[in-house]
A and B are shown apart, each in its own frame.
Chain A
Amino acid sequence: MTALPASATIKFVNATIGYDRHPAVHHISTEIRAGSLSAIVGPNGAGKSTLLKAVVGLLRPMGGHIEIGGCARRRIAYLPQQADLERSFPLPVFDFVAMGLWHRRGPFGGFRRADDIAVAEALGTVGLAGFERRTLNTLSGGQMQRVLFARLSLQDSPLILLDEPFNAIDDRTVEDLMAFVLRWRDEGRTVLAVLHDLADVRTYFPETLLIARRLVAHGPTRDVLTPGNLSQARHMTEAWIDAAPYCDDHHTHAA
């Protein structure tokens, strides 16, 4: 592993993110500290995944901005939801995991012996040694998640974003994958994960962002996940209203 650059930070400055002028989350202002391990929680439709997509650059904020320190956008390691993958594509596990080395080899670079070894080792550490030639469509949900974690660790990034990493995954796999997350934290990387299971969050994640289309609370997990905050988040206005009035908070959104 190469020496890590100074750990990464994320700063949301009055950021509003959404689709077609309807914000999914608005006026987020807060900061993720370098080397912190934080969870994003909130009800369905709260804008959790949207927030991650904006950090990684897949969505552009409609208003405000997001500053990332200590990590180029292209170097961010991002775990998408499995539904966003086309798993029927007949690609061997090895080739898929090898894409984690894109920052070193790019679209054209040749693979060296050391790269082959790195990929095999990454597969070994997630408990899938010997799966190199299997194709993605033969994997179970848990195995696929392990494969994605192998790719993440090859990306060797100072900033790791996980979108629902433990959804529909059995307890043992969650434990194994959580060990990875904790190791990344110990190595000084900044980790930000969207999670559903509040028990997991309380056990493993020192910091939490609670959002419900806006920031409800952010800080140490036990101060954030209070009954008061959680019920406030639950009562957020759901979804998309076609004729919703324009927002007049603080600043107007860029069109």
Chain B
Amino acid sequence: MSPFDLVQPFADFAFMRRALVGTLILSVTAAPIGVFLLLRRLSLTGDAMAHAILPGAAIGYLLAGLNIYAMSIGAVGAGLLIALAASAVTRLTPLREDASLACFYLISLALGVTIVSLKGSQLDLMHLLFGSVLALDDTTIVFIAFVCSVTLVVLAVIWRALVLECIDPAFLRVVGGQGAWVHLTFMVIMVLNLVAGYQALGTLLSVGLMMLPAATARFWTRTLGALTFLAIASAMMAAFAGLLISYYLSLPSGPAIILVAGSFYLISVLFGPVGGIVTSRLPSRHRIA
């Protein structure tokens, strides 16, 4: 295998180029969002939201077919609705947030699959659930790029407040008036990124490009900046390597990307320098202070 083989599929095929561009752009914003989800112990929330967007996308599909705008609007609406419903149940009843999220995402998944089946084929269902990164058209890429640009700007603006809200929410509520807008803004950009991501990876796997790189990075560094940077880098490498593997081994490309990200994670769990299972059990000399 020559180095040329690493670029040749992208040089030869436009669909491979588009898939690469789409997933690289997604990596830039999905990974930092994943880092915050991880640090705020909201990983499950990301997962639940990813499922929650399915019925919305399905309703868009029912009304307008495979139209990216209709499906995206439906998906964003459903995602935000479920986020609000889950937090309302948490606040108004004794049920904990993780339990209410689990309930809502099961309902959403079943509802979404049912709605798609009303009109579509098995193929459409597979497209919604697992995406079709090799079928990204220019409109979709522009949509993904738009969402990611907005996300970058929003993250830059709320960064300081977001960090403070993670560590010391009471302090933010005192000095900043109240912290609710930070959390809400963050939830909105998370849903937007999931909606952008499901075009490529499907509703079930789009959260994979958020959580796996973030969890991977946690085993390599302790500081927030490096964590964010490493998560982005590992998401990008997973996208690149996953597409190549899917090309040469004829595997489905979305799952291939997530599997590569997953193997980065497993390797880091074992050998990562910050708390990896093997690494932290190696004998090591300690300093005197």
Nearest residue (CB) in B for A135 is B222
> For A96, what are the chain B residues with a Cβ–Cβ distance below 8 Å?
167
> For B3, what are the chain A residues with a Cβ–Cβ distance below 8 Å?
none
Chain B nearest CB, measured from A152 CB (Å): 10
Q: Binary interface profile of A, 125-141, with partner B (CB < 8 Å = 1, else 0)?
A: 00000000001110000
- CB of A240 within 8 Å of the partner chain: no
Report the bound CA distance from A136 to B164 in whole Å: 13
> For B224, what are the chain A residues with a Cβ–Cβ distance below 8 Å?
89-91
Q: Are A103 and B175 in contact (CB under 8 A)?
A: yes
Report the bound CA distance from A211 to B174 in whole Å: 24
> For B157, what are the chain A residues with a Cβ–Cβ distance below 8 Å?
108
Report the bound CA distance from A137 to B274 in whole Å: 13
Nearest residue (CB) in B for A155 is B175
Report the bound CA distance from A135 to B222 in whole Å: 8
Report the bound CA distance from A103 to B177 in whole Å: 11
- CB of A228 within 8 Å of the partner chain: no
> For A74, what are the chain B residues with a Cβ–Cβ distance below 8 Å?
174-177
Interface bracket on A:
20 to 34
- CB of B25 within 8 Å of the partner chain: no
Report the bound CA distance from A90 to B39 in whole Å: 8
Report the bound CA distance from A152 to B160 in whole Å: 18
Q: Are B167 and A85 in contact (CB under 8 A)?
A: yes
Q: Are A86 and B174 in contact (CB under 8 A)?
A: no
> For A84, what are the chain B residues with a Cβ–Cβ distance below 8 Å?
168, 170
Nearest residue (CB) in A for B274 is A90
Report the bound CA distance from A225 to B50 in whole Å: 57
Q: Are A107 and B167 in contact (CB under 8 A)?
A: no
Q: Are A58 and B170 in contact (CB under 8 A)?
A: yes
Q: Binary interface profile of B, 268-283, with partner A (CB < 8 Å = 1, else 0)?
A: 0000000000000000
Cβ contact of A56, chosen from B40, B166, B174, cutoff 8 A: B174
Chain B nearest CB, measured from A103 CB (Å): 7
> For A91, what are the chain B residues with a Cβ–Cβ distance below 8 Å?
163, 167, 224
Q: Are A92 and B176 in contact (CB under 8 A)?
A: no
- CB of B161 within 8 Å of the partner chain: yes
Nearest residue (CB) in A for B158 is A107
Chain B nearest CB, measured from A192 CB (Å): 15
Nearest residue (CB) in B for A106 is B176
Report the bound CA distance from A107 to B161 in whole Å: 6
- CB of B146 within 8 Å of the partner chain: no
> For B223, what are the chain A residues with a Cβ–Cβ distance below 8 Å?
90, 92, 135
Report the bound CA distance from A78 to B158 in whole Å: 23
> For A99, what are the chain B residues with a Cβ–Cβ distance below 8 Å?
164, 168, 171, 175
> For B235, what are the chain A residues with a Cβ–Cβ distance below 8 Å?
none
Report the bound CA distance from A204 to B107 in whole Å: 59
Q: Are B167 and A57 in contact (CB under 8 A)?
A: no
Q: Binary interface profile of B, 143-186, with partner A (CB < 8 Å = 1, else 0)?
A: 00000000000000110110110111011011111000000000
Q: Are B222 and A73 in contact (CB under 8 A)?
A: no
List 8 A-B pairs, Cβ < 8 Å. Answer: A53-B170, A73-B174, A78-B174, A89-B163, A90-B222, A91-B163, A99-B175, A135-B222
Please name 17 further chain A to chain B contacts, defined as beta carbons within 8 Å, in addition to the given A86-B40, A91-B167, A136-B167, sorted by A numbering: A58-B173, A74-B174, A74-B176, A80-B171, A84-B168, A85-B167, A86-B39, A86-B168, A87-B167, A89-B163, A91-B224, A99-B171, A102-B164, A102-B175, A107-B158, A107-B176, A135-B223
- Please report B residues at the A interface, Cβ cutoff 8 Å: 39-40, 157-158, 160-161, 163-164, 166-168, 170-171, 173-177, 221-224, 227
A-B pairs, top 4 by smallest CB distance, nearest first, are A102-B175, A107-B161, A89-B167, A90-B222
